[in-house]
Amino acid sequence: MSEAAVNPSEGISKIFRQPGRFIVPLSLVLLVGTATLLQPSFLSINNIQDILTQAAPLALVVLGQAFVILVRGLDLSVASLMASAAVLATAFNATSDAMIPVIFLVTIVVSAGVGLINGLLVTKRNVSPFLATLAMMIVLQGIRFYYTQGAPSGSLPEGFRVLGAGRLAGIPVNMLVFFFFFCILGWLLHKSSFGRKIYITGGNPKSANLVGIHADRVTIICYVICSVMAGIAGLFLVGFVGTVDNWVGRGYELDAIVACVLGGIMLTGGKGTLWGAATGALILILIFNIVIILGLPVQAQLIIKGIIIIFVAGLFSRSTQT
């Protein structure tokens, strides 16, 4: 994924201005190296498959979050939406795999509606993205708990296990799905004219309007993409976990933002690549794995996540100021 198409005139000097370009691949190599030293079986095929299976749901969310952050937004409702999608899927109480496409279709439509509301609030009502999506998070949570009365019941078709944790020719199924979306969204962001509009809107919404781009429309579409990806990720996560509860995907909102920041997507908007975001997701999952390998308590992941986000965000904000 080359960024050259976006900023053709900037030349080599931008490498120095974007430390993410070095840091991201470097830290990936360092992390894999550390993990292999700590536990030689880390690089076994089996373990790599496991890690990819774990990484896929987060990576799906990250793809969507990247779009929102690129247009200067932030979506805190993704985790809540993931759980809502999971609960919605059980509402069908389906046992046959033939229902899976229907479940996906309904989830996508509902998620798109959620994203549309987020986008409209942010653009038309000028609500800060943080508050709009925060409120959406609470609303979804309330509806979900009201529907389930605290404890979800209902069942999912067997096929969800295959989607969430199965393998096709040794490759995790959910990773294949991730790759599919990665290609489509990557094309949309980096090759299509709409992608350019996203970067221009994120760079400066006012000048985007001046050059004839409907900045509001672009922003709304980004929110819709984010929510749809979150809904789909919720279905895959529930397939991976195997049980539905009201908190499927809890913490993914922060994880997705951390992954984007790690992958060099600027929170100020308009800068970063989808490739970077996906790498960020992988780095985060690797870090979680190393925490486990080191024998630290799972909660230590929270501490490490917090330190990383402050540190990396600080690093990037320094480099943009100078």
Instruction: Give the binding site for another protein (CB under 8 A).
Output: 74, 121, 125-128, 130-132, 134-139, 141-143, 145-146, 149-150, 254, 257, 261, 267, 297, 299-307, 309-310, 313-314, 317-318, 321
End-to-end CA, the chain = 26
Count other C-beta atoms under 10 Å from residue 8's C-beta. Answer: 8
Minimum separation from the CB atom of position 264 to another protein (A): 15
Minimum separation from the CB atom of position 145 to another protein (A): 4
Of 24, 84, 61, 88, which is closest to residue 265 (Cα–Cα)? 24
Minimum separation from the CB atom of position 85 to another protein (A): 18
Backbone angles phi, psi at 283, to 5 degrees: -60, -45
Residue nearer to another protein on the CB measure, 95 or 128: 128
How far is Cα 318 from Cα 75, in angstroms, rounded to an integer? 24
Output the furthest CA–CA distance in the chain (Å, rounded).
58
Minimum separation from the CB atom of position 295 to another protein (A): 13
Q: Could you say which DSSP state residue 294 is in? A: T
How far is Cα 305 from Cα 95, in angstroms, rounded to an integer? 38
Q: Specify which residues 198 forms β-bridges with.
A: none
Residue nearer to another protein on the CB measure, 24 or 134: 134
Residue nearer to another protein on the CB measure, 33 or 314: 314
Minimum separation from the CB atom of position 1 to another protein (A): 25
Element (H, E) at 63: helix 45-70
Q: Hey, which bits of 94-222 come out as E strands?
A: 167-168, 171-172
Minimum separation from the CB atom of position 146 to another protein (A): 4
Minimum separation from the CB atom of position 314 to another protein (A): 3
Report residue 174 as tokens.
Answer: 């959910």
Task: Give the three-class secondary structure for 167.
Answer: strand
Count other C-beta atoms under 10 Å from residue 26's C-beta. Answer: 11
Residue nearer to another protein on the CB measure, 101 or 146: 146
Residue nearer to another protein on the CB measure, 174 or 301: 301
